[in-house]
Structure 1
């Protein structure tokens, strides 16, 4: 069968769906199929609905073959499409971190929080309106929960650090983690001789470096063969990538603590993050110049600077109290 270019089989019944959020090869949803039963892991935004449903059609799966829709967390580039998708899946249940369940049942606060970060124009362009999921179709995960999909058992573990409403999903068949944002971001334009480069994400508003470092260590301890990143794709060489993430996380914390509060802080954080990334990519062997790196990572630099600032302010407030 000929599949559309945005639907990529990765083996072991796992398929990548490029959701087309922001640009190609930036935001992935995954469709896992086993013995004719299916689960979506992350969905992209509501704009991804045609491709999510199109993936089922391309693989010859009826909508009632989907048992689970599992967002890794409720940030809109991962879970904005859950509500619209569930309207088309009569047998599916949503499985979400317990801290995120209420935001899918009543997405009003979620929308307002994203609006505060992105602004109305970007919300209209990239996200659209959110659709609530009926409470009776929402299940909450817990650390170590196992759920059946066909002949395999998926395991969910609590993975704080990027967000407190984040879990990761272990697939024993491919020996891979679906990591959402807890195992960083990696884009294919930075690959050098088949080796991926990765960076941590400190997107607002719940970035916490110590829990994130513990999460990275926990994921690597399973000795996975691969990780499935929402941003972007299936990666091997997990232990090397984990080392890189932990080292960069230390550098990000040091950068944040070196910058004084005030109106210049955001610009200084942005500039400092760009320097960290340019230097890391040069060590990786990437030939892109600083301007090209700045363009490719513009969204991430902006959001990481915001998230670092929020963490710094929260830490200062806790110390003062």
Structure 2
């Protein structure tokens, strides 16, 4: 689907309609926002060709943050875009120039076999092609302004991009997750992502409010796609952040099974909210669509709890 020169590209990561990158085309110029993993690069180039553009017409790759499902393929993609520069949050720039620390951190969690199959090796980007997008860095895409805004909460190195022409935001993970399989007659179901290791609920509340103050007509989420009725969704996100924090603060820190407590409580919370939303899937269906996010959110809440209670 394409609206106002915005092309949604499914990166193919994990499953269909899970991980999106975006291609913006305007006045003979193009930019990618996020890129998925190395395995997504052929899909991105196919999307570029389908939009009638050449690799030489891509001016920028903009990253919302450097988590690998958003930025793992940045080096491989940049190697195929001869005139492009990379715009990234100042806290993330060094990881694109030298991704060894990113690789090592993910390797410790997932192991070599999963890293190779899911992400592929991370390719460094020459420092002279990397631009630190200090808020409010503005990218000119053929006369179309794209504003890079600091939006911490999910990660300290996170930014969102406001497209003034289309009046929409590309939110990475700041505006949560919303999978089309969970849509009902009431619209999209949305929930925050607390993926380790930098979840900060107060910062996330503030970042959501900052984006809402721009009065965007829609948000483009990495996970997944365009969502509208943004004021309603923002209210749901605020409520869910507070509910998830409440789940975490009532966990028994001394219990060896604290992580299991968190995953079970989060599954119960999402099941209740989905039922209120008019979704009729059973527990198995819930875990199919949200199992990975429940696991990661529990990890993120656990890291946050440990940091808060030091």
- Pick the TM interval, shorter chain: over 0.9
SS at match of 1:31: strand
2:225 corresponds to which residue?
233
Among 279, 290, 293, the residue aligned to 1:297: 290
1:121 Cα shift?
Answer: 2.9
Among 260, 269, 283, the residue aligned to 2:262: 269
Q: TM-score, normalised by structure 2?
A: 0.98
For residues 208-266 of structure 1, what are the alpha-carbon distances to aligned partners after superposition, in whole Å with 9 as ceiling and x for unaligned?
A: 11100111111111111000000000010000000000000001111101002232100
Alignment of 1:131-150 (within 5 A): 131-150=123-142
Among 179, 191, 203, the residue aligned to 1:199: 191
Among 82, 91, 104, the residue aligned to 2:83: 91
- 1:242 paired with 2:234, answer yes
CA contact (8 A) 2:152 2:204 kept: yes
CA contact (8 A) 2:64 2:171 kept: yes
Alignment of 1:40-189 (within 5 A): 40-189=32-181
- 1:306 paired with 2:299, answer yes
- 1:33 paired with 2:31, answer no
CA contact (8 A) 2:167 2:217 kept: yes
Q: TM-score, normalised by structure 1?
A: 0.95
1:24 corresponds to which residue?
16
1:120 Cα shift?
Answer: 2.7
2:281 corresponds to which residue?
288
**Structure 1 residues 68 and 194, CA, compared in 2 at 3 Å: closer, same or farther?**
farther
CA contact (8 A) 2:37 2:73 kept: yes
1:145 Cα shift?
Answer: 1.4
CA contact (8 A) 2:76 2:123 kept: yes
1:118 Cα shift?
Answer: 2.5
1:194 Cα shift?
Answer: 6.3
Structure 2 residues without counterparts, runs of 5 or longer? none
1:55 Cα shift?
Answer: 1.1
1:193 Cα shift?
Answer: 2.0
SS at match of 1:178: strand
Mapped to 2, the partners of 1:179 and 1:259 lie a distance apart of: 30
Q: What is the count of residue pairs matched by the alignment?
A: 309
- 1:190 paired with 2:154, answer no
Please report the RMSD computed on the Cα atoms of aligned residues, expressed in angstroms.
0.9
Structure 1 residues without counterparts, runs of 5 or longer? 1-7
